[in-house]
Structure 1
Amino acid sequence: MEEEEEGGQVSRAAANDTNNDDNDNNDNNNNDKGSVWSCIQAVNPMIWPRTLAQHFGCQLLVLIIGSQWLVKGFAGGLTTGAADYLFKSYHVTASRLQIFKTVLNLPQNLAPVIGFLSDWAPIRGYNKSPYMAMASVLGVTSCAIIGLVPQTALSVEGAVVCGFFITTQIFALNLLTQATYSERMQSKPAQAPSLVSFASFGITVGALLSTILVGLLVEEAGPKVVYLVAVPALAVILVLLAMGCAGETRQSAQQCAQKRQRLAQQKEVLFICVIIAGSSLLLASVGLSGGSVALNAAVAIAAAGLVLVACAVLLKPILAKAIAFFIIVTACSPSISGASFYFFTDTPAQYAEGPHFSPIFYSSVQGSVGQCAMLVGILIYKRWMSSWTYRKVMTVSSLLYAALNLLDALVFARVNRRFGISDQAFVLTSSGLENLVLTWQDMPSTIIISQLCPEGMEAIVFALVSTSFNIGSTVGANTGALLLQWLGCNPSGQENESLQFENLWVAAVVSAALQVVPLVLMLWLIPDCRQTDNLMQGIADRSATDGSLWKRWSKADLYSFDIGQFPYTRGNAKLMKDLFPDRFTYIEGPSQESAKEFAEQRPDVKCDVISVDGDHSTEGTLADLENFRKLASCRNWVLMDDAGWNSTNSAWQMAKDAGIITQVECFADMNPKPDFQFMDFPINRSWCLGFFNVGDLDPTCPVWFKENPNTEKTYVRPIEI
């Protein structure tokens, strides 16, 4: 019988402060959702921030505006939009361009280390603002170098390194800001969709302004000027931090020590952070070294697989499942952005049949339409979709996004021209709809992780999640680059490269089809509940590793109840005690009495796996089942031996009829090897498998069935092993 070790309990009074949120929900429910006026009220730019300020305070909103609206939205949009043109000026091939862009995004994979450092090593008692400031100085300096140093003096690899540090600032600020508002959202889950929508709204507005500018700047002055324009936006956060807008309270030495003590108990999370950081540095070095596209793809897949296994083994199941889903979903979306960029922007001399989009149209016009569509998507989400279940919103958005991606294949095959549809009209429509749907994919993931963040580890857990997206995207970008290479789609902005685009439509179809594959995993990996529900309600231990496979394997305890009838019993008990002195307990005596007394004396012991092999009488077996039920955890398995005996079979049926157990299967081994039978035991060994129903003993346990699914008789199914 195994016991899952209980972790330290965490309580916080703020978690119970949900009255205001409930009232807000009631008010929303009373609104006429079909009316235009109620929609306007829901997104009113004056009411929205005022309501959020009442719940979360003005400082948090100012921090979000500075770090996410300005830095991530505006400055990030400028530098990201100019990166393609910067690499094109170096005549980088499409597949290599995608690899360089993955290197630019690898700082997101270092975010767990930043998160751990901010939680473990506060500077002068502050966890977040000093690290925000250091990352900002690094990013501002690197951005200025790209803008000021001539291209002849700055190699493409040097530009990639500077871009690496710029994205380090963007991701570090985004991470630490998300960790800050995650702390606040956990006590007000009903307001979580509204706060996330506020942040996303501002990021989208900032990105919209940047996309309007980037095309104009690139066409008139070149990509380097864009980086100079981004410098002030990146530097604004330093002013806000100096004004104390991070809203941090200085911690005492004792508080810092207590926090480090809690983190020290999460060695598994640190191990995952090390794996991710090491894999990211390896990916960066391989990408910058000029290695083959296949090598980059292989390293990315191996890194993602390693992270998946580590998270599955070391993190609590509900958190590990969410992270696994995000990695798989993004990994199953091969990117072809490198080739599509050249497809749309090549000149007539480079690709005579192409759309020949100017930087103004491609970046500013198309980008602005996409950002406006994202704003509409955010408003639609906030008004009508924020109360949907996670599965519903993710399924709808994923299917729509995959369908819209198929439209790219039509323009790559030039089908739209055959029907007289201009490239501009077709691309503006399809990209606008894609961006609108994309917002519906992003926000539920932020909400679900905010709900799952353990207290005191918000930065680390948010970093792990954001990293999971990036690891999957890295796989998608590298496998997409390999796909482009296999299909012969590898343009570089050279003249007469029309042949490079012949199979680009095939790559688009493959990418769209693969995006639908992971949806079936949602049934196992994403909880079936509303986005406004408290996922951690009733769970006392909110650590990131509680209930993980590793803790179950390495810290499970075994309790043995035995009458001591045979000589080998005590010998085996002594051997087990010698091997596992702190994890094995032997209780001798009739189990009908000893198990009952133990359950009364040790209510803290809850077991996941229980084996019943007692005196085989009907009364004794039924008593064992009744007593062991009091020791069962919420998610338990019970296995009863010799179910083919009339006595034990009757006891099992009685327990089913009384609602003590739910049967899964009963079976008999018709071909035992070796045949260890003795005394008058039946020739064939048999067992019944099920689980104890403990919902009435522990209200936090789920009730698996509303009606009893047990059969009126217990049948033992013959099998041959």
Structure 2
Amino acid sequence: MVYFVQGILGLSRLGVTYLYKDEFHLDPASVALLTSISAVPWVVKPLYGFLSDTVPILGYRRRSYLVICGVLGALSWAAMAAVVRSPVGAVAATVVGSLGTACSDVVVDSIVVERCRGHPQATAGSLQSLCWAAAALGGVASAYFSGSLVEAWGPRGVFGLTAVFPLIVSAAAALIDEQPVAAPKLKASADTRSAAAVLAGRLVAQLEALWGAINQRSILLPAAFVFLWQATPTAETAMFYFQTNALGFSPEFLGRVRLAGALASLAGVGVYNAALKEVPLRRMFLWTSILGAGLGLTQILLITGTNRALGLSNELFVLGDSVVLTVLGQVAFMPVLVLAARLCPEGVEATLFATLMSILNGGAFTGSALGSALTAALGVTADDFRLLWVLVAVCTLSSLLPLPLLWLVPDASGAEEAARVVDERAAAAEEHRL
């Protein structure tokens, strides 16, 4: 349910972009930068995982956090609908919304990780596929309505509707099978300092377990590759301006494109789960990167109008391009999730998985910021697209730059060995504390 809500929250994404573009009259580089800032809460996910693993609220390490996250999300989108009147206010509200979504993502990921530990790659892959299929279904539902709702209600009306969905996360907390965590028993004479010492001891123990997990090459090196793989610049915002201002695409049509992309994401999960979940990681990264770069360059055909000379309308070309690239991107992303889930030891599931995902999100944040800087450097604006083809070419080809570092990614046996070492270190740390 939580993954489904995360997918359906995409209902507001198109509205946010239109708000920046049409109401605040920002240029593509500024929108790309503000969008990346809104994603900052996803970069500090280890903090939420650390708190969830270490500091129960009202006796629960998962339920209570989900309730709080849902309320934060609802308040942020309600503010976007009724209060926000400036780009600064919009960024502040979307950051709060991202905080709620990112924290709930950490909590539910930790639950999934608890069920992945000790299972082979195929089983873990099936569970991860199920979770991301739920998110993709939510994405399909949001994409189906997003464009038409923006066109009919405007961005703020869509924000008001979006505010309802985070409350489902709060309600879903009641469905989690979680035993309450007993509070540490202190003697009657114990004072506040004793309670603080107990809490500090918990925090130190968690830090020791986390450091023992990540302080090994078998985790650090793959994490470095994933960061670099995600940190290449993107031209997504500039292409949005080109599609709306130069090609005249309506919000309704862009909603259809998002729907096609959401369905393609679901198909990508299915393809991976059915045929690719046992393919070595290095081979997956290599071929998806090469195919993605080749297909990504086809956007230049749209920018130059060559697609029309080939008998393909702009609309048909964009739909087909979105479907193919989304399937490929989802197939490439699934092995990262599986590897991360299988490396997490018991007791720090949320923290370590969140750390690995934050490295990935940090790479995406870096790529978005680099794309913003490159857009500004090339002079691509809301009505000047002369060098857009150069921007797309540079961004697409740069995705191949991390491939010489593929040796950093372990094969299947390397992943199993890393998982074994992580568990041994966690067990040793636990024995030492006892």
The alignment status of 1:156 with 2:87, answered yes or no, reads: yes
CA displacement at 1:113 relative to structure 2: 1.1
Structure 2 partner of 1:377: 268
Aligned to 1:344: 243
2:434 aligned with 1:503, yes or no? no
Does 1:317 pair with 2:212? no
Contact persistence 2:74–2:165 (CA under 8 A): no
> After superposition, where does 1:190-205 map in structure 2 within 5 Å?
190-205=122-137
CA distance in 2, matches of 1:325, 1:171: 22
Query: d(CA) in 2 for partners of 1:540 and 1:336?
Result: 41
- Residue deviations 1:124-148 (CA, integer Å, cap 9, x gap): 3311221221122111111111113
Query: Is 2:398 the counterpart of 1:514?
Result: yes
Q: Distance in 1 between matches of 2:19 and 2:44?
A: 24
Q: Which has the higher contact order (CA 8 A, sep 6+)?
A: 2
Q: CA 1:544 to 1:323, structure 2 compared with 1: closer, same or farther past 3 Å? A: farther
Contact 2:344 / 2:422 at 8 angstroms: preserved in 1? no
1:68 aligns with 2:8: no
**Once the 2 structures are TM-superposed, how far is the Cα of residue 265 of structure 1 from its aligned partner?**
4.4
Letter in structure 2 aligned against 1:177:
V
Question: What SS does structure 1 have at the residue aligned with 2:44?
Answer: helix
The offset of 1:417, in angstroms, is 2.5
For residue 264 of structure 1, report the CA deviation from its aligned partner: 1.4
CA distance in 2, matches of 1:520, 1:426: 32
Scaled by the length of structure 2, the TM-score of the pair is 0.90
Find out whether 1:238 has 2:170 as its counterpart.
yes
Task: Report deviation, 1:420.
Answer: 3.0
Match of 1:79?
12
Which amino acid letter does the alignment assign opposite residue 325 of structure 1? F
Give the match for residue 536 of structure 1.
419
Q: 1:259 to 1:434 in 2, by over 3 A?
A: farther
1:94-243 matches, cutoff 5 A: 94-149=28-83, 154-189=85-120, 190-241=122-173, 243=174
Q: Distance in 2 between matches of 1:428 and 1:384?
A: 25
The answer to whether the 8 Å contact 2:221/2:409 transfers is yes
Residue 397 in 1 paired to residue 288 in 2? yes
Within 5 A, what are the aligned runs for 1:611-650? Answer: none
Aligned 8 A contact 1:193 1:532 in 2: no
Contact 2:73–2:97 (8 Å) recurs in 1: yes
User: Which among 204, 208, 217 is matched to residue 264 of structure 1?
Assistant: 204
After superposition, the Cα gap between the structure-2 partners of 1:117 and 1:221, relative to the gap in structure 1 and judged at 3 Å, is: same
**Any idea what SS the aligned residue of 2:321 has?**
helix
Q: Could you tell me which residue of structure 1 aligns to residue 251 of structure 2?
A: 359
Q: Structure 2 vs 1, CA of residues 260 and 378 (structure 1 numbering), >3 Å: closer, same or farther?
A: farther
The CA distance in 2 between the partners of 1:398 and 1:544, in whole Å, is 38
Post-superposition offset of 1:86: 1.4
SS at match of 2:60: coil
| 1:247 counterpart residue number | 177
| Counterpart contact for 1:390–1:531, Cα < 8 Å | no
AA matched with 1:486? A
> By how many angstroms is 1:421 displaced?
2.0
Counterpart of 1:426 in structure 2 is 317
Give the corresponding residue for 2:432.
none
| Cα distance in 2 between the residues matched to 1:92 and 1:129 | 40
Structure 1 residue 469 displacement after superposition: 1.5
Aligned residue for 1:141, secondary structure, equals: helix
Structure-2 change in CA distance of 1:211 and 1:263 (3 Å): same
Partner of 1:656: none
RMSD of Structure 2 on Structure 1 (CA) = 2.6
1:701 alignment counterpart: none
| Alignment check: 8 A CA contact 2:50 2:206 kept | no
**2:249 is paired with a residue of what secondary structure?**
coil
Q: Mapping of 1:348-497 within 5 angstroms?
A: 354-362=246-254, 364-491=255-382, 497=383
Distance 2:113 2:423 in 1: 18
* Residue 231 of structure 2 is aligned to residue 331 of structure 1: yes
CA spacing shift, 1:477–1:239, aligned 2, 3 Å: same
CA distance in structure 1 between the partners assigned to 2:421 and 2:368 by the alignment = 40
| 8 A contact 2:210–2:352 mirrored in 1 | no
Q: Where does residue 603 of structure 1 map in the other structure?
A: none
* Counterparts of 1:215 and 1:544, CA distance in 2: 51
Residue identity over aligned pairs, in percent, reads: 28
- Return the alpha-carbon distance in structure 1 between the equivalents of residues 365 and 355 of structure 2: 15
Structure 1 unaligned residues grouped into runs of 5+: 1-64, 272-310, 347-353, 492-496, 547-721
Q: Assess if the C-alpha contact under 8 Å between 1:116 and 1:270 holds in 2.
A: no
Instruction: Decide whether the 8 Å contact of 1:100 with 1:160 is kept in 2.
Output: yes
Residue 501 of structure 1: SS of its match in structure 2?
coil
Give distance in 2, aligned partners of 1:396 and 1:260: 47
The letter of the residue matching 2:204 is A
Residues 1:460 and 1:263: Cα distance change in structure 2 (over 3 Å): same
Deviations 1:5-43 (CA, angstroms, capped at 9, x unpaired): xxxxxxxxxxxxxxxxxxxxxxxxxxxxxxxxxxxxxxx
Aligned residues: 417
SS of residue paired to 1:527: coil
Alpha-carbon distance, 1:109 to partner = 1.7
Q: Which amino acid is 2:361 matched to?
A: N
Kindly state the Cα deviation for residue 545 of structure 1 after the two structures are TM-superposed: 12
Cα distance change on mapping 1:269 and 1:104 into 2, 3 Å: farther
| Contact residue 46 and residue 358 of structure 2 kept, 8 A | yes
Question: Which of the two has greater helix per residue?
Answer: 2
- Residue type at the aligned position of 2:80: I
TM-score, structure 1 as length reference = 0.55
